């Protein structure tokens, strides 16, 4: 691994690293924040944050305002990139921002030319935690959260892997990607035309058969321009009601889809995860 940045912040350490991913067959960059006191003798739990379309690891670390409270709570935060990148990694043939580079959708692609590199689900669920737990003073206690496309990713990771995470939350997640324009574009290319196969990557479908009941916290701004066309959290709320799944959906008046929204409520999410991680 190659360290490409190191910053001291709130008594802890923010680091950026580049490593070779065997799963994605390319170099990947991730950021990790280690709170003060983290050591081999005192490993800390980890929140894995999954970002949204077009983002890199830097968006959350620089804009969310999460590190002060993470330092107080003794929680590490890991932020991967949102897709594979680099020479030889295919992007959107039309150069669009909502597919390909920066838009991996946290699925395992099955279609050409995407299936070689676009296996972000296996990367964030398995390979990246293995790297983090092997090289940093962290424990195997994990939580996951994310925003928009990353909120979709966090929900799917938790729902597909009972027992792997202690807690889950999301900001403005794409809850039913099988039926929204962003999701339909990504799924049809990454996964093919069989919509039945899409269900295993769709939180609104997965929650109906969830084998674990992790309390789920979702914040959504009611002034989000994507609310009614792409996000539609009421669909997940209805499915959770039928399945008797513990979901808290908070509609926040006046808030949009930006990191101003995330920064306004990130402390609630960090405390939500800390309570579960330290239980």
**Edge-to-edge strand order for the sheet containing 12-21?**
2-9, 12-21, 26-34, 76-80, 44-50, 138-146, 167-171, 216-221, 247-252
**Three-state DSSP class for 7?**
strand
Classify residue 195 as exposed, middle or buried by CB count within 10 Å of its CB (0-12, 13-18, 19+): middle
> Which residues are marked as active site?
148, 224, 257
* Helices vs. strands in the chain: H and E counts, helices first: 10, 9
What's the pLDDT tens digit per position in 230-253?
999 999 999 999 999 999 999 999
Q: pLDDT tens digits, residue range 68-107?
A: 999 999 999 999 999 999 989 999 988 999 999 999 999 9
160: tokens are: 């597909």
Supply 17's token pair.
Answer: 């690293």
Q: What is the pTM of this model?
A: 0.97
What pLDDT score does 279 carry?
83
């Amino acid at each position: 691994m190659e360290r490409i940045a190191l910053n001291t912040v709130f008594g802890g350490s923010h680091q950026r690293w580049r490593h070779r991913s065997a799963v994605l067959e390319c170099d990947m960059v991730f950021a990790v924040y280690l709170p003060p006191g983290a050591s081999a003798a005192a490993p800390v739990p980890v929140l894995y944050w999954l970002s949204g379309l077009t983002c890199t690891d830097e968006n959350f670390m620089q804009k969310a305002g999460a590190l002060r409270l993470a330092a107080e709570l003794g929680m590490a935060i890991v932020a991967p990139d949102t897709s594979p990148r680099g020479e030889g990694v295919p992007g959107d043939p039309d150069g669009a921002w909502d597919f390909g580079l920066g838009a991996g959708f946290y699925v395992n692609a099955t279609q050409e030319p995407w299936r070689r590199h676009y296996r972000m689900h296996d990367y964030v669920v398995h390979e990246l935690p293995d790297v983090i737990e092997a090289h940093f003073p962290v424990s195997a206690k994990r939580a996951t959260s994310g925003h928009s496309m990353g909120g979709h990713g966090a929900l799917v990771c938790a729902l597909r892997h009972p027992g792997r995470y202690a807690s889950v939350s999301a900001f403005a997640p794409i809850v039913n990607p099988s039926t929204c324009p962003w999701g339909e574009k990504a799924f049809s290319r990454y996964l093919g035309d069989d919509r039945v196969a899409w269900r295993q990557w769709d939180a609104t479908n997965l929650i109906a058969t969830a084998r674990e009941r992790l309390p789920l916290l979702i914040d959504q701004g009611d002034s989000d321009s994507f609310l009614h066309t792409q996000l539609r959290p009421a669909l997940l709320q209805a499915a959770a009601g039928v399945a008797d799944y513990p979901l808290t959906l908070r509609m926040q008046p006046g808030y949009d889809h930006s990191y101003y929204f995330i920064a306004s409520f990130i402390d609630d999410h960090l405390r939500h995860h800390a309570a579960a991680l330290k239980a």
